[in-house]
Structure 1
Amino acid sequence: MKALQGVEGQVEWCERPRVACDVGQIRVRVAAAGLNRADLLQRAGLYPPPAGTTDILGLECSGVVSEVGAGSAWKVGDRVCCLLAGGGMAEEVVVDARHALPIPEGLSMAEAAALPEVYATAWLNLFELAALKAGEKVLLHAGASGVGSAAIQLCKAFGNPCWVSVGSAERLAYCEALGAQGGAIRDVDLPSLRDFAPFDVILDPVGGAYAELNLELLGSDGRWVNIGLMGGTKAQLNLAQLLGKRIKLIGSTLRSRDEQFKAELLSELNHHVWPLFGEGRLKPQLEQTFAVKDVEAAFAALASNQVSGKVVLVIDDSLV
């Protein structure tokens, strides 16, 4: 089969051996794959896959089941989208059957490829790790990103007013159209977030550059979930604020979690989140799709930080 791998900062469409479909697994003929910042980092050699995981790029995909291992309830021909630790940007992928979800009715394959990673990340960090309760206030840094777009919609669906930080006025308007109450523009008026504080939960993919402000913006018993380091790895913190407000600082990654953890997370998504797509309360935020031959343009689009929502790579246009 053919697959995409990162080689010295470039992406190559290479021949790779097929993998056996074992007990509890399914083989999926890939229609489309979502792009994520982890793919950019892996291509650059900065984020190697977890031990034992394929080096093929792609943390999420959509497609059609082509083979079913013993012990799985899926059937050949089922339309699915999958959460992966790697391997989605290929003609096919073999995945734990518990890490696949049905494609919500009415969504295209390209739209479905934009769902698993961002909704799993948003649900895990807001509603499981931060234990977000209805009515609590949320701040989402990088609110126009794929995860941010999913998180805004989830906050709206579950009764949590949210605010965002973004890179431009256009992206702020995008977030407000999705349901955000308001927010601030990075490098322009970020301190104005104080006007909306205190927050109960902050979801932060930025890290170091926003750490001091996060402590200030959180209220008593606030939860700060750090999921990325776009703003650096180091910060100087006033720990008296951490103690005085009883703040919980939670570091979180999803890719390296074990298979059982991911299976339970996908089960929660299927129960609490997936029905909301059928009700029209959640919608994929797919900004751009690219053909495999244009993969470098797809990666450049994501790296530009100008995308609102998701970028998806079409692997097999006969399925999309």
Structure 2
Amino acid sequence: MAETGPRPVPASIDETVEMLAGADYVADRALATVLFLSLRMQRPLFLEGEAGVGKTEIAKVLSSALGRRLIRLQCYEGLDVSSAVYEWNYAAQMIEIRMEEATGETSRTAMERNVFSEKYLIRRPVLDALTGEKGAAPVFLIDELDRTDEAFEAFLLEILSDWQVTVPELGTIRAAEPPLVVITTNRTREIHDALKRRCLYHWVDYPDAARELEIVHRKVPQANARLSAEVVAFIQRLRKLDLFKSPGVAETLDWAGALTELDKVALDPETVSDTIGVLLKYQDDIARLGQGEGRRILDEVKAELAAAE
């Protein structure tokens, strides 16, 4: 019978590597090490890197592998406490007030106590993440923290320090056990050192060719082996160019999947030109490849793979 319910965190770095591999996440040992330490020390994991390199996926893998709820706080400019922590169900509260006023049997004090109770509290991600049971703390993903402002960052710092939040009408709510926190940032702005000091840090870089090819084999198993090798070799070279936005692993998988849908078994200049919008998202980058750069890279890829055979 399959194991259900929350599972214990890995007892070693090797078990962490196995846990990630079991969820088809191909990680290097440095990432597995900092993840293991984060879990064992109950410290937030701060992941920084380019978009599309697999930072968010780590939280999803943790949730699946450990049998924990995944709570995601997607950050954006203007994110405030009511959106991130809690708010009251004002419509339901007004109905309750009207009903109690109609009966005339409830005192003002009792009425306030009734409408400001758990029944009308809407738990947003931060508060939800602090209410997990001991031994079953959720995975709390704070995604793209760099999109918020410094005021929210300072508020978050308090949460990560004490693992508690105060709701004035109810009092202080403390976590029975700290959630497994994963913070990601694409480094569009610097995060304050005070917050970083409370976390274990890791820069998630683009994978090397061997690891990226393994990722393609796992995530797009239907792709032709030759095609997968050419796709990875092409993208590895593409990242060395001075592009506005280099393709991430997510784009590698999208491209391999798209080419497979087109029944391609190898790259050719026409196919690269027709499908480049799957890989690159800025017209200046696409135009650069159309000026002969794409054909040059493809020729190099073909020559390299032919020499290796």
Q: What TM-score, normalized by structure 1, do the two folds share?
A: 0.31
Specify which structure has the higher proportion of strand.
Answer: 1
Q: Which has the larger radius of gyration?
A: 2
Specify which structure has the higher proportion of helix.
Answer: 2
